[in-house]
A and B are shown apart, each in its own frame.
Chain A
Amino acid sequence: MCHQNETDMKKFILPWIFLIIAAAAMAQAKISGTVKDNRNRPIPGASITLKGTYDGTVADSTGKFSFKTTEKGEYMLEVKSINYKSIEQKITIANDAVVVNFSLKEEVNELNAVTVTAGSFEAGDKKRAAAVLTSLDIVTTGGANADISAVMKTLPGAQQIGEQEGLFVRGGTGYETKQFIDGTLVNNPYGTSIPDIASRGRFSPFLFKGTVFSTGGYSALYGQALSSALMLESIDLPDQSQASASVSTVFVGAGYQELAKNKKSSWGVNYGYTNLIAYFNIVKQKPDYFTMPEFHNGDANFRIKTKKGGMIKYYTTFSYGRIGLRRPNIDSADLKNAFGYTNVNWYNNVSWRETLSHGWKFNLGLSYSTNKDDIKQEIQNQNNQYTYTGKAYIDSNNFVLNSRQDLSQIKVVLEKKLKGISAVRFGSEYWYGYNKNKYNIYSSLLIDHFVSVFGETDLYITNGLAAKIGGRFEYSSILAKANIAPRLSLAYKVGKDAQMSLAYGDFYQKPENTQLISTTNFGYTKATHYIANYQKTNKFYTFRIEAFYKKYNDLVKTFPVFNNDGTGYAKGIELYWRDKKSIKNLDYWISYSYLDTKRDYLNYPGQMQPNFAATHTASLVTKRFVTEWKTGFNFTYSYATGRPYYLLQQNGNKYEIKDQGKTTDYNSLGFSLNYLPNLGKAKAKTFIVLVASVTNVFNQKQVYGYNYNYSGSIKQAITPPAPQFFFIGCFLSWGVDRSQDAINNNL
């Protein structure tokens, strides 16, 4: 209708608008300034944006910036940079130049912030800065035979103890180290004890995505461990569905795991059968095995990702095992000690973690385990028949022990996020322990209701300063006593990738069940830890040095009466160096521990260096994968100075040291090789890993201590059942969704 008019109008208006724009273009305003941090250091590369427009720039190497804009009026000028909090400032642009100087605050985030590292070695992908060992590291440690504890022994703080299971940390006994899976205590982490022979751990390293080996000063969330906590975090969903099988010189196994199509849930089952008959027939053992070690292991799991992104995980493992062995009796050359056991163990763990609204998180852990041992030892003659000698010191070695240990637990932890990444967490746990023993004709029943309440807060004052303050209250019904344990640690950044940490804490632990059977008139044993640490770490290397002092109080004395009068101390310095870069294709770590410790406990006549403590311990672990051969070569050398041994004999109302000495130094070289023939073959349906390993390659004599006969006239070295252990195994897996192929393509 008005078409003509419109066109005319346009003709008229367009040049006019262009004129305005041209004028505006000429009237560009300059915006400039600097971007610095709160310590007045320039932040090069910070991005400056006039919000809502295309205009802006980045700061140069001196933090200066400058750009021009044709915009006029009020705008927000935004500046942002990685690791800093973004800020905006309102500016008015007229014809004059605008100068704005920004001062950015560092953003406190998990990547930059210091982590409290005093006392603990963290592994896993979550916090790379502190990452030390992954599950792959554990299975490729030479000589460790994929045993988690054996690998932890290559880290500073742990002793090279071979005559019994457990981690002996910083002058502490094996009982003083506890293992936790997803926050709950594992009551029987190792196979049943055999005198003078260490049992393996029950859990495969592949179950866990993260391992924290704390050698002291750990969080208030954990208790009942005087010296050390090994915290294992189970994996969430597997990467793929897969079937697996394994065959080796000592076991066969098969497993299946399925990851749901929507990748929200998974389940799996595994079965393994171990029998050492074939192996023991080829490699001679010192003991005479009348029941060949034989174990059935089954496990099952399911894992569900919840709607809100939480996880529910269930893991159960059942095992049945038996063993019987004869060794010479130290008191009589004509006699033998025949020891045997049957063990049934069932372990269950449920964990549920969920993120709630308003910065709250919760973790629920439930666990039930039962362990039954039927142990028998008898004195036999040369014809392997039961013999009664009439000598009490010999006949007292005859015993039958039926023991059952059940532990049920529930643990709830709530966490609330505070400002930045600071957080407060608190919770409670309840353990019901049931221990029934029958030793020959003597029966005992120990029932303990144990409750703890704990709280701690992570305070990130800046990226360079963090504190963890916590406390723990415990009550045990069997002792009818409570304790309160404060925990405190600080971390301070001292340079790029470098930090210092301090930790202090009180730790309490119930006496062992074997002691509580005699009397429950005990208090808690106590240790106080003081730790100072310096750590420098990046992607390629980790260096740390740590000094500690540990004070023991109220240790258990068994003579002249059972009480808590024992005392002790441990102090030392530890070094750790891991380097993945300096030597091409070689990953290695070195650890060294110096330990000065004495204690007066059990029947010790006074404070003395315990027989499980060596003054100097060192390990060198090397791993090299040769791509051309698709083979990894792993060596571990461990060294420890000799440990003391004692002959303690009762003389009237006290024990006396009748004999003492030091064992020879401990040396051991372990080697393992893994060959992956199908690595990278896109068409291969089977993924194969061949493993061969040997412990104590040089066949060096290893003496863990000495046993004395009754009179003290004879001492016998405690040595491993065979000087070396050889292993050859083949592990096969079939990735059901063939994503293994994809992996190989992208390695």
Chain B
Amino acid sequence: MKKLFFLTIIAAGLQFNASAQSDKFVDAMKSALKQYGEAKDNGEALIAVEAKFERIADAEKTQWLPYYYAALIKATMSMQGIGGDRDKVADEANDLITKAEVIEKNNSEILVIKSMIQTAKMIVDPQARYMKNGAEAARLLEEAKKADATNPRPYMLQANNLKNTPEQFGGGCKSAKPIAEKAVELYAAFKPKSEIAPNWGKESCEGIIASCK
């Protein structure tokens, strides 16, 4: 009975810890996601929440989502010139998404981030880099579409890229809008896999359509 008592304590403890760990992780992620939502374009807030995702990622080590969000923020930071040299920030984003990829292979969402990183690198020096990084960004979006045909984000980013491309080069609203509309359809049907799974971009997509009216 004594032995059983201790075993039970350990078992209960383990069980409790396991579920606490998971709850703790989800709670931390939810809190970080909330913070991310509030950060908007504020550089300092983005740096803080990115660091938070990295801390969660490094503590967990087996969860791809915190690395994914950290890389997403780093990629947007590079695009906006926040946090230092844009190339270096993009390289750091790449290190983070590589860690996510080791945990979770051939994931459409991860491929989307990889494409964003290529775009971030391209816009540092478009003239010299569009041949390489621009092509790679487009290729990765196609791969992301293949990996999950229901994911709206590759379409949203494609529409966004097209919108930022001059009309003379085949960009502009005319080519961006149909793709944004396709993305909107996919967003309508899209169900995130969990509370903390990727579920962003709908507003930007609607923004593209609205500005293309």
Mark A residues whose CB is within 8 Å of B.
Answer: 2, 5-6, 9-10, 13-14, 17, 44-45, 47, 49, 51-58, 60-61, 82-83, 111, 125, 128, 134, 136, 239-240, 539, 627-628, 630, 679-682, 739, 742-747
Contact = CB atoms under 8 A, between A and B. Distances in A.
A122 to B, nearest CB: 14
A589 to B, nearest CB: 15
Contacts of B5: 9
A627 B168 CA distance: 7
Contacts of B85: 82-83, 111
Contact of A628 (B28, B83, B168): B168
Nearest to A60: B44
Interface stretch (B97-105, B125-133, B184-192, B199-207): B125-133
B197 interface: no
B130 A746 contact: yes
Given A125-B125, A680-B166, A58 B119 contact: no
B9 interface: yes
Interface stretch (B49-57, B106-114, B146-154): B49-57
B187 to A, nearest CB: 22
Contacts of B83: 45, 82
Contacts of B58: 49, 51
Contact of A54 (B13, B56, B168): B56
B44 to A, nearest CB: 7
Question: Which of B4, B51, B119 has the largest number of chain A CB atoms within 10 A?
Answer: B51
Nearest to B66: A54
A744 B139 contact: no
Contacts of B137: 746
A695 B130 CA distance: 30
A744 B169 contact: yes
B198 interface: no
B55 to A, nearest CB: 5
B21 to A, nearest CB: 11
B138 A58 contact: no
By secondary structure, the B interface counts as: helix
5 contacts: A47-B51, A49-B58, A55-B55, A111-B88, A742-B139
A125 B128 contact: yes
Contact of B8 (A6, A51, A58, A742): A6
Given A57-B48, A679-B168, A739-B135, A746 B122 contact: yes
Interface in B44-83: 44, 47-48, 51-52, 54-56, 58-59, 83
B89 interface: yes
Contacts of A739: 135, 138-139
A675 to B, nearest CB: 12
A54 B55 contact: yes
Contacts, number: 136
B89 A134 contact: no
A709 B162 CA distance: 67
A10 B44 CA distance: 45
Contacts of A744: 169-170
Contact of B135 (A56, A58, A61, A239): A239
A17 B12 CA distance: 10
B188 to A, nearest CB: 25
Contact of A47 (B13, B54, B87, B89): B54
Contacts of A83: 84-85, 88
Contacts of A136: 127-128
A47 B92 CA distance: 14
Contact of A747 (B47, B55, B139, B171): B171
Contacts of A53: 55, 59
Contacts of A682: 170, 175
A680 B177 CA distance: 17
Nearest to B89: A82
A628 B128 CA distance: 20
Interface string B3-20: 011001101110010000
Nearest to B161: A746
Contacts of B47: 45, 58
B97 to A, nearest CB: 17
A56 to B, nearest CB: 5
B166 A747 contact: yes
A49 B59 CA distance: 10
Given A2-B4, A628-B168, 5 more contacts: A13-B9, A125-B128, A239-B135, A680-B171, A745-B170
A473 B130 CA distance: 44
Contacts of A14: 12, 16
Contacts of B127: 136
A45 B89 CA distance: 13
A5 B9 CA distance: 11
A735 B92 CA distance: 32
Contacts of A56: 51-52, 55
Contacts of B54: 47, 49
B70 to A, nearest CB: 11
Given A10-B12, A630-B168, A743 B134 contact: yes
Question: Which of A14, A61, A682 has the largest number of chain B CB atoms within 10 A?
Answer: A682
B170 A82 contact: no
A745 B138 contact: yes
Given A54-B59, A739-B135, A745-B162, A5 B4 contact: yes
Contacts of B84: 82-83
B135 A742 contact: yes
A52 B59 contact: yes
Question: Which of B87, B122, B170, B171 has the largest number of chain A CB atoms within 10 A?
Answer: B170
A680 B16 contact: no
Contacts of B161: 745-746
A87 to B, nearest CB: 16
Contacts of B13: 13, 17
A14 B130 CA distance: 60
B124 interface: yes
Given A52-B59, A54-B59, A744-B169, A82 B135 contact: no
10 shortest interchain CB distances as A-B pairs: A680-B169, A680-B170, A742-B138, A746-B134, A47-B51, A82-B84, A747-B169, A9-B8, A739-B135, A45-B47
Contacts of B11: 6
B28 A747 contact: no
A45 B74 CA distance: 13
Nearest to A8: B8
A744 B122 CA distance: 13
A9 B125 contact: no
B69 to A, nearest CB: 13
Contacts of B28: 54
Nearest to B137: A746
A745 B16 contact: no
Nearest to B24: A54
B112 to A, nearest CB: 15
Contact of A679 (B9, B122, B126, B169): B169
Contacts of B132: 239
B124 A539 contact: yes
B170 A681 contact: yes
B51 A134 contact: no
A566 to B, nearest CB: 44
A213 B13 CA distance: 70
Nearest to A6: B8
A14 B19 CA distance: 13
A539 B89 CA distance: 16
B133 to A, nearest CB: 8
Question: Which of B56, B124, B169 has the largest number of chain A CB atoms within 10 A?
Answer: B169
Nearest to A239: B131
B54 to A, nearest CB: 7
A240 B135 CA distance: 10
Contact of A17 (B16, B44, B119, B167): B16
A682 B139 CA distance: 14
Contacts of B8: 2, 5-6, 9-10, 13
B180 to A, nearest CB: 14
Given A47-B54, A136-B127, A747 B87 contact: no
Contacts of A240: 135
A628 B56 CA distance: 48
